[in-house]
Structure 1
Amino acid sequence: MALIKEKPKKFIILGQDGAIPYIIEQGIKAGYLKNFKRIKEKGVFTPVLPHPSSVTPGNWAAIATGAPCGKIGISDFTVHIPGEPLNQERNAFDRNMCQAEFIWDTLSKRGMKVATISYPGSRPRGLERHVAIGGEGMPSEGPGYCALTKAQCFITPNIELADPYQWREHQVIQLKPAKSWKNIPEEIKIKREFNFSLLNQDYLCLVYRDNGEDAIIISKERNFKNFLARVKEKQWSSWIKIKLADTTGAFRIRPIKIECAEPSLQLYVSPVNRCSNFSDPAEYGDELTRILGVYQEPLNISALLTGWIDPEGLLEEFREQAMWQARAAVKLTKDMGFTGVLSKWHAFDKFYHFFFQKIDPAAPNFDKEQFDYYESIHKEILRIADEMVGYVLEEKEEQTVLVVCSDHGLMPSARHASVANLLVKHGFTALKEDEKGNLKIDWTKTKAVLYPFVQIWINLKGRDPEGIVEPGAEYERIREEIIKLLRNWKDPKTGEYVMSTVFKTEDGAFYGLGGERDGDIRFFTSPGYSVTEIAFPLKMGF
């Protein structure tokens, strides 16, 4: 928090999802996070403990309401409403799932305008003076309030991508000799083409060599002069507009590799992003796009994992989103009459989930030879966050207070432990095969189930539609049996206890738990253990 001389009249909250205080402090001491240093020296800097289970939607709701997760009703990545089928889930990022009042609604009732940018719980918008910009804060890479499509990658057959999980979402293309193009300069001798579609609109790509350099143009017609964008290897094209029924979209391309003679091509195509109608009310997003340019909400970290994009290209996407949020926050409070802005930038969380094991020597898969590569990406994300903070510090009004906060930290997973499978093995969860041979839960024989991720629910008569466990003595006996099972559970490889804490949910007041949506049993794994889903056989862990 940055100090100001007088009582603040406005506020800007820059949410940094997954940012870890001790890593920020290391960057301050190393001298490359100068703006975080300014906050620490002139304001307040402190680590805090997140609410269990340390997930994005519940903790951002806690920040925006001041209530613990048990009161909010969100303590997992999805929400189960007691009385509904135990396998039915609700979107925890939905505003209507939160049982406490958000600060933007509190201030709206008092006549003040507050904007949210990609903040969990901000959609659907409630009161008139709240403006929701971007989506509901879910870290999706697919279509949503802003993006109309996912990113895409096109490769020729001679390109090999990393794709460690074999998702195979890229598209293999053939570069064919270019035919019937008009106005191609005579000196261009090597030229090839392919086409792709976006939102039912076709685009032609011409790959060519000119003066020893390879380049690509994208066009709606076979006319070299009428291209939409021209770009060389590892460069971003300009934004390409695409007109749709209710909005105008924009996308761009980045060739990761072009070798016209071989021929060889790897082309990254960004999501199509809305240029209008991505805020509620719509006019605020439209105006910010006019001033600041395109807002791309998805941060496509999986594109780096699969090898679709180069680190520099990904970091440029990260930086552009960060600075768009920072500039929008200042613009809204300084020139557009807003009392406050709450934004959420998801870069740290995404990087740590995918690559923490690459930068932490304690991780079992840590590779010293890869450390410098991934740590350089990590440091650049930290620098982007610092630049974001610095911009707001310099450009905000004097009586606007800046708060920079995170919702949780992360650590690498050493081992994967399946609580769900443990419940199956000990007869608490029953499975059966469907007509296709897939395993599913047999609710007529199931006494307890892990759902969604860190909650254990007893299949209770009178509460759950297919309940088989009697309330009272049987309910308590099964809870005690499961708690004992989890407390005594050891890693078969290391002999270590998997759980650090297991308790009845009503005993979780210390952790801010105890609400009716918090399950019947809660647990925290020991450091380094993560929880996996039901799978026989398990693909990883035990």
Structure 2
Amino acid sequence: MNRDARTKKLIILGVDGMDPATTKRLVDAGRLPHIKNYIERGAARKELNMLGAHPTITPPCWTTLATGAYPGTHGITCYWRQSPESLDAVVYNMDSRNCKAEQLWNVTAEAGLKTMVWHWPGSSWPPTSKSPQLHVVDGTQPGSVNMGVAQMDWEKIVYASSDTEKLRFIPHTQKAAGVGCNITDIGEVLSSGGDDDADEMMELWWGDEARKGGEIRTYVNTLDDTEMMIGAKVAYDMVFSPIAPARDWAGSPDGALEFTLLISNGKENRYGLITKNRDGVYDSVSLYRAKADKEPFAVLENGKMVSGIIDSATKKGATKPCCRSYKLLELSPDGTSLRLWISNALDTTNNMLWHPVSLHGKITENVGPIPPVSLIGGEDSELVEQVFEPSWDIYCKWQADCLEYLLDRGGYDVVFSHLHNVDCAGHQIWHLGKTLEPWNHTDEKVYQALIDRFYEQTDRYLGRFLRYLDEEYTILIVSDHGLLVGENVPPILGEYAGANIKVMEELGYTVLKKDASGNSLSEIDWDKTRAVQIRSNYIYLNLKGRDKQGIVDPKDKYALEEQLISDLYNYRDDRTGKRVVGIALRNKDAVLLGVSGPECGDIFFTVDEGFNRLHGDGLTTAEGYYNTSVSPVFIAAGQGIKPGFTTERVIRQVDVTPTAAVLLGTRIPAQCEGAPIYQILSDAL
């Protein structure tokens, strides 16, 4: 085999949730000019798609992209890992030590190629090679860099008015530590919320206890318990503040008005000064740490988002300098009312997820502090448009700036990068792209337009790297999965974040305990429960000798699996009368989809097309409303790639790693199960 390098430099631009069907529709409409340029200069399938791994969930798919191995082989088999102690609980999973397959970045570092792994979720942190050629930034959760460890204060909206009589703080009522698949406090995920400091949290996080325990137990009984309902609900702190004439300031203009902000979970004050222009119209707000300060730390104009503002915040007794963004959403001309958004606060000194640590200082000094992204909006389309989307505009620019800085000045030969804007928006708004009964109050056309805008945002980001094609780089654009707009309200089956109770209870396999009045409790009755459905696509039998409270005799396992699979196929949606389960396979048979072995359930199943939620519960080929799909995207361009070429080959996610290895002339990782996409290579293998 010809193993000469076809390129000396490779950039993998990963975009979480990027759907080839939506991408192609917008490319054809002329709305994604930079992606069109990549396609014209490179190679892809006509549909821009590839077959993803299963389940179609962030960590397993990104790990497949990094190793060329299927989830059953590499061992990262869903967003969460099954608890070794309990069938109804999960534990934290984005730990590289859970990965049983070799990552390509270890191979490139071994080959002497300076390699950067930028926020690649699933199997990149902690670093998996001691080579000085391997540098890694975060990867412990999908959202944004440092989101899981550096957040000091939640985002909030300040409502100030001359009619408000008393200063009040109302904390957000968040049901989980994040929105969708964004973990915003890993300490909260792994513990019951004690006062651990950062070192203690890291010991819990990366120590044996994190792998053994730290259980998360969530029961999904109704639609209200599902991630699509919870994730789309607006969750932010609210501050209600009186507006009054400015008093006791070190210096304030004539006619200035004042209000008070509360930060750090309502325990610290900041002060706002509302001032008017030459025409006597109140049009600006200045923010101060104290009235005695001569200069504000932020000046806000109506409708303009300001980012990169450094102010302190306090959490669990520790005060840190933090980066925040602000936007004055509304200000009445007479200054008597305003609405102000304040982002979450990210500790600018937190470098615990940077290897080497010096990278953090270089980035913050030469590019700037990490800008916080918003996690609010959902069913409030105004907040999506005015807050959520522009916060991601700022973050996308910052990340592109970082990668350009590293490529131009850091001397990196290979870059693996991940961006989460599309998927983060997906968990907020994609299900609102079709008007279904639970969301009759929303307008699907508004949300379809927002979906398209996030792809235009992604196009601008990807466009920043086009120039590297002229500098002898090869660029691969990939995603872990696509996102679909659901055709119907999904069944309570296939939710990735908890144990799915309703359908399994109706089928008689999962039984909840009852109180004295016969009402169901949030506790499984293990003496009567024969099977549990958990982690997207897996069903576990409650087996004697294997599970702590097992009741199923191992000799009855095959017959029970046969009965359960039959019952799944016969289950019908009560609204439409249609079958809701697509396929169901025993563990040994699920090897056909790469989801067999000890880290997978006794049965692997998928929800049938038409009943899929956003992603994760169905096949990688699933399609949805508004021309959306779950398939991941694949586009290649640059050195070693045929220009303007369309291949008919079925490309699989496991093929990306061996293709990248062949392009770079390195060996293929040890457990790789894919094959090079030789049809797109400019030189024959």
TM-score by length of 2: 0.69
**Counterpart in 2 of 1:65?**
67
Establish whether residue 183 from structure 1 lines up as the match of residue 251 from structure 2.
yes
**Counterpart in 1 of 2:95?**
94
Q: Which amino acid aligns with 2:31?
A: Y
Establish whether residue 241 from structure 1 lines up as the match of residue 310 from structure 2.
yes
CA distance in 1, matches of 2:612, 2:146: 25
Paired residue secondary structure (1:193) = strand
Q: Are the aligned partners of 1:192 and 1:260 in contact in 2 as well (CA < 8 Å)?
A: no
Q: Are the aligned partners of 1:113 and 1:338 in contact in 2 as well (CA < 8 Å)?
A: yes
Residues 230, 405 of structure 1: alpha-carbon distance in 2 compared, 3 angstrom cutoff? same
CA distance in 2, matches of 1:308, 1:438: 38
CA distance in 1, matches of 2:443, 2:470: 43
Establish whether residue 288 from structure 1 lines up as the match of residue 290 from structure 2.
no
Q: Which amino acid aligns with 2:462?
A: V
Establish whether residue 347 from structure 1 lines up as the match of residue 416 from structure 2.
no
How far 1:18 moved relative to its partner?
0.9
CA distance in 2, matches of 1:143, 1:201: 22
Residues 451, 314 of structure 1: alpha-carbon distance in 2 compared, 3 angstrom cutoff? closer
Q: Which amino acid aligns with 2:540?
A: W
> Which residues in structure 2 correspond to 1:483-502 (within 5 Å)?
483-502=565-584
**Counterpart in 2 of 1:36?**
35
> Which residues in structure 2 correspond to 1:19-58 (within 5 Å)?
19-46=18-45, 47-58=49-60
Deviation digits for residues 331-385 of structure 1 (CA, Å, limit 9, x no counterpart): 3233213222212111222223332244458x67798994553344333322222
Deviation digits for residues 462-506 of structure 1 (CA, Å, limit 9, x no counterpart): 22122221112x111221111111001111221111111111121
How far 1:300 moved relative to its partner?
2.4
Residues 373, 429 of structure 1: alpha-carbon distance in 2 compared, 3 angstrom cutoff? closer
Worse overlay, 403-412 or 121-130: 121-130
Residue of 428, 431, 453 corresponding to 2:512: 431
Establish whether residue 205 from structure 1 lines up as the match of residue 272 from structure 2.
yes
**Counterpart in 2 of 1:520?**
602
Paired residue secondary structure (1:317) = helix
Residues 60, 340 of structure 1: alpha-carbon distance in 2 compared, 3 angstrom cutoff? same
Q: Are the aligned partners of 1:191 and 1:260 in contact in 2 as well (CA < 8 Å)?
A: no
Paired residue secondary structure (1:416) = coil
Paired residue secondary structure (1:324) = helix
Q: Are the aligned partners of 1:148 and 1:271 in contact in 2 as well (CA < 8 Å)?
A: yes
Q: Are the aligned partners of 1:432 and 1:439 in contact in 2 as well (CA < 8 Å)?
A: yes
Q: Are the aligned partners of 2:324 and 2:371 in contact in 1 as well (CA < 8 Å)?
A: no
Residues 342, 500 of structure 1: alpha-carbon distance in 2 compared, 3 angstrom cutoff? same
Establish whether residue 195 from structure 1 lines up as the match of residue 195 from structure 2.
no
For structure 2, list consecutive stretches of 5 or more residues without a partner in the other structure. 165-171, 173-229, 494-500, 615-685
Establish whether residue 475 from structure 1 lines up as the match of residue 565 from structure 2.
no
Establish whether residue 149 from structure 1 lines up as the match of residue 153 from structure 2.
yes
**Counterpart in 1 of 2:299?**
230
CA distance in 1, matches of 2:271, 2:514: 47
**Counterpart in 1 of 2:391?**
317
Paired residue secondary structure (1:379) = helix
> Which residues in structure 2 correspond to 1:56-455 (within 5 Å)?
56-80=58-82, 83-120=84-121, 121-128=123-130, 129=132, 130-139=134-143, 143-156=147-160, 169-177=236-244, 178-186=246-254, 189-198=255-264, 201-210=268-277, 211-223=280-292, 225-242=294-311, 248-259=321-332, 261=334, 263-278=336-351, 279-296=354-371, 299-303=373-377, 305-306=379-380, 309=383, 311-359=385-433, 370-395=443-468, 398-413=471-486, 414-419=488-493, 420-433=501-514, 438-455=521-538
For structure 1, list consecutive stretches of 5 or more residues without a partner in the other structure. 1-5, 533-542
Paired residue secondary structure (2:76) = coil
Residues 295, 135 of structure 1: alpha-carbon distance in 2 compared, 3 angstrom cutoff? farther
Q: Are the aligned partners of 1:184 and 1:224 in contact in 2 as well (CA < 8 Å)?
A: no
Residues 215, 531 of structure 1: alpha-carbon distance in 2 compared, 3 angstrom cutoff? closer
CA distance in 2, matches of 1:165, 1:336: 39
**Counterpart in 2 of 1:537?**
none
CA distance in 1, matches of 2:294, 2:382: 29
Q: How high is the sequence identity, in percent, across the aligned residues?
A: 23
Q: Are the aligned partners of 2:263 and 2:269 in contact in 1 as well (CA < 8 Å)?
A: yes
CA distance in 1, matches of 2:312, 2:438: 46
Paired residue secondary structure (1:456) = strand
Paired residue secondary structure (1:108) = helix
Residues 366, 446 of structure 1: alpha-carbon distance in 2 compared, 3 angstrom cutoff? closer
Residues 398, 246 of structure 1: alpha-carbon distance in 2 compared, 3 angstrom cutoff? farther
Paired residue secondary structure (2:157) = strand
How far 1:176 moved relative to its partner?
3.7
Q: Which amino acid aligns with 2:572?
A: K
CA distance in 1, matches of 2:543, 2:343: 47
How far 1:114 moved relative to its partner?
1.9
Deviation digits for residues 57-94 of structure 1 (CA, Å, limit 9, x no counterpart): 1101100111011112122221115x532133222322
How far 1:146 moved relative to its partner?
4.4
How far 1:456 moved relative to its partner?
0.5
Worse overlay, 265-274 or 142-151: 142-151
Paired residue secondary structure (2:40) = helix
Cα RMSD between the aligned structures?
A: 3.3
How far 1:231 moved relative to its partner?
0.7
Which is bigger in relative contact order (C-alpha 8 A, separation at least 6)?
2
Q: Are the aligned partners of 2:241 and 2:261 in contact in 1 as well (CA < 8 Å)?
A: no
CA distance in 2, matches of 1:198, 1:126: 36
CA distance in 2, matches of 1:74, 1:225: 54
CA distance in 2, matches of 1:209, 1:325: 36
**Counterpart in 1 of 2:675?**
none
**Counterpart in 2 of 1:538?**
none
Paired residue secondary structure (1:218) = strand
CA distance in 2, matches of 1:62, 1:152: 37
Residue of 581, 593, 617 corresponding to 1:511: 593
Residues 424, 464 of structure 1: alpha-carbon distance in 2 compared, 3 angstrom cutoff? same
Q: Which amino acid aligns with 2:366?
A: I
Worse overlay, 380-389 or 307-316: 307-316
CA distance in 1, matches of 2:135, 2:335: 52
Q: Are the aligned partners of 2:512 and 2:521 in contact in 1 as well (CA < 8 Å)?
A: no
TM-score by length of 1: 0.86
Q: Which amino acid aligns with 1:175?
A: P
Residues 310, 60 of structure 1: alpha-carbon distance in 2 compared, 3 angstrom cutoff? closer
Paired residue secondary structure (1:494) = coil
Q: Are the aligned partners of 1:234 and 1:257 in contact in 2 as well (CA < 8 Å)?
A: yes
